[in-house]
Amino acid sequence: MNRTPIESIKITKDRSLFTQKMVDIGEKVAPYQVVKSLEQAVKSAEQLGYPVHV
């Protein structure tokens, strides 16, 4: 039987919610951007700096 609260499951599946919860409790969070094209990925990598994780 799974005893994980449904709210916790929802938070871990939503990147933005998860990131905000980590920030709220003082955890360090790597900067990130969600992209949908190669062009966006290149621009994001230039903004965030290298190396990047795809």
Helix (H) or strand (E) run with residue 47 in it = helix 38-48
Residue 52 confidence (pLDDT) above 90: no
pLDDT at 15 (0 to 100): 87
3-state secondary structure of 16: helix
Structure tokens at 43: 């621009």
Location of structure tokens 């290298």:
50
pTM for the predicted model, two decimal places: 0.60
Q: What is the pLDDT of residues 23-44, one digit of tens each?
A: 999 999 988 898 999 999 999 9
Q: What is the 8-class DSSP label of residue 4?
A: S
Nearest residue to 52 (alpha-carbon basis) of 28, 27, 36, 33:
33
